[in-house]
Amino acid sequence: MNLSQPIPRALLPHTITLKTPMKSGIFADGDYEEITLFNVRFERDEKARQTKSGDVRSKGARFYFDCVNSSADGDFGIDKLQFNTNQTVTFCGETYKIDGVKSVMAGDKIHHYKVEVI
């Protein structure tokens, strides 16, 4: 990928919901801030691994948020948006917990975020 160009919108077809707990990092009924993220790429994966007790399926996913072509609703600009491990995301009715965040740089600026979820 050429990091001098934004990720093309055609590769960012998804919309997800980001939920951030308002107090002490714990979710309670209605005690979170909800932001819709547009033009992201969400990729699910499911891996089967053999254990002593039999097959165990491990689900995971990741999403990509481009700093030019992705956006957030409301007054949330890229400069205010942060991803961290006390947040969850919802995609197609399934909720995932953020497990890790990687900022991919282009020079001295963030090009996009790769966010691992479980």
What pLDDT does residue 26 have? 59
What pLDDT does residue 76 have? 63
What do you get for the CA distance between the two ends of the chain, in Å? 25
Distance CA 110, CA 73 (A): 20
Q: Which residues of the chain have pLDDT under 70?
A: 1-2, 24-30, 48-51, 55-57, 75-78
The DSSP 8-state label assigned to residue 7 in this structure reads: P
- 78-113 b/e with 16+ CB inside 10 Å = b? eeebebeeebbbebeeeebebeebeeeeeeeeebbb
Question: Is the overall model pTM greater than 0.95, yes or no?
Answer: no
